[in-house]
Amino acid sequence: MSAEPQRTLRSLLVSERSSFLDDKNRLSAQVQQHHLNYKVSVLLPECSSAPSHLEAALNSFSTFYLIRKLPLYELLDKHFLETAVYQGSVYGLSYRSRIDQENCVCLTPNGRLSLSLDKDSYELLGFEGKPSCLTVYVSVSLLVSVDLTDSCMAPGGRGYQRLLKGLTSRLRLQVDFLLSHPGGGALQSLLSRYDWSEHSPEVSVRSLSHLSCPALLTSDLQSCDPHSLLEWLGAVDADVSCENSSSSFLSTLVCPEPSRTASQSLSVTVCGLLLPKDVLRLVQELRCYLEQSLQVSWVALTVHGFTDSPVSWGDSEHGVVTGGENFYTLLLFQDQTYQLHLRNSQRPCGGLDPRVETVTSLMSFLMLRFKRLFSS
């Protein structure tokens, strides 16, 4: 068992360094590939209050809609397709549907509709799909992915009629659905037929006193171990103390050494259905903040994807029980360089030795169930 697992097992954390001044940097494309975001966390060391331009960016994330009991066939409505889906920038996700227990649906701005279905629902739908990576660890799950912009899915086409018939006559699935589109005007016809409410992302701010921070953090990837750094950032965001004595068994999280103490720091979170374009605007304002600040040499921004989304990066299946959460962390520095750390939970089924994959996935599955238990 020793050789093969070591050859195929790979880290799910990818780190890279680049500069905003480099025309070939891929940051914008990478941010836009992470479609469905529910939380943005920003850490501002040596900061007592955010400047007005940064505060404005944090409070200007796009609003989104919650539609109650939306029949899925409405996503195939001709007017909705022509005015919203075909124009791009539509983001949608079933609300409070647990991917390891229920049917989940999402709609991404490239016009792809993805459904994570149990076996009975899949057979009722009667549309081609593939086994999900969830299948081994929960009841049989299958993933149906449909490109609504494909010519065969045009209203009246064979594929369109087959999917529409499945959703109207056999699988009459209704879900509470989060939906966002710039301006929102293209959604009014759909909204008028159902119970809906408009929501703004929630912004919360915490002031942190005497926070221990990494002292030698630079844009060089070797300046600090990425895993230790991300653990520390996660602890700060979750308000978990990293001041642990040698006799403490509650937490082993510590600030990477060498460290220094920041007298005042600010931790800001934004929660909701958050669009990549708003994240990019926030990144731009953080760059301006660093240029104008004399005391701050870096800031951190972390973006979390939805746990119960059928996809993670791009159109890749979200292997929620095979690799953990999907998120990325961006460290910005005064010299216009940045570090990008990406965590992708998607892993091709069967990519590992079955015994290794089973142990790894079982641990992730148990962590997910514990999270469900403590959040309920």
The pLDDT of residue 355 is 37
* Pair 180, 65: CB distance under 8 Å: yes
Q: Are residues 271 and 212 in contact, defined by beta-carbon separation less than 8 angstroms? A: no
Q: Which two tokens stand for residue 293?
A: 């600040």
Q: Which alpha helices (H) appear in the chain, and where do they start and end? A: 3-8, 27-33, 52-58, 78-80, 119-125, 158-165, 188-191, 226-237, 276-292, 320-323, 354-375
> Averaged in consecutive runs of 10 residues, what is the pLDDT profile of the chain (376 residues)?
37 83 93 94 92 94 96 95 92 92 93 93 90 64 92 93 94 95 85 96 94 80 82 88 64 79 93 96 96 88 92 81 75 93 57 38 50 57
Which DSSP helix (H) or strand (E) runs through 261? strand 259-274
Round to whole Å and give the CA distance between 123 and 356: 31
Q: Find residue 106's DSSP bridge partners.
A: 93, 114
- Give the Cα separation of 191 and 64 in Å (integer): 12
C-beta neighbour count of 255 within 10 angstroms:
22
Instruction: Write down the pLDDT at residue 138.
Output: 56
Domains of the chain, residue spans: 3-61+201-375, 64-199
Name the nearest CA neighbour of 219 among 19, 13, 11. Answer: 19
Q: Do residues 189 and 67 lie in contact, with contact meaning Cβ atoms separated by under 8 Å?
A: no
What is residue 132's DSSP assignment? -
pLDDT of the residue at 224: 82
Count of positions (residues) in the chain: 376
pLDDT, residue 372, reads 58
Report the alpha-carbon distance of residue 330 to residue 303 in Å, rounded: 8
pLDDT of residue 354: 37
Contact criterion met (CB below 8 Å) for 206 and 111: no
How many Cβ atoms sit within 10 Å of the Cβ of residue 82? 12
Q: How far is CA 369 from CA 99, 100, 117, 118, 132, in A?
A: 11, 9, 19, 18, 18
Strand order in the sheet with 202-214: 13-19, 337-343, 327-333, 298-305, 37-44, 259-274, 202-214
- What pTM was estimated for this model as a whole? 0.86
Q: What is the pLDDT of residue 345?
A: 47
Residue for token pair 């903040």: 289
Tokens of residue 192, six digits: 């008028």
pLDDT for position 315: 83
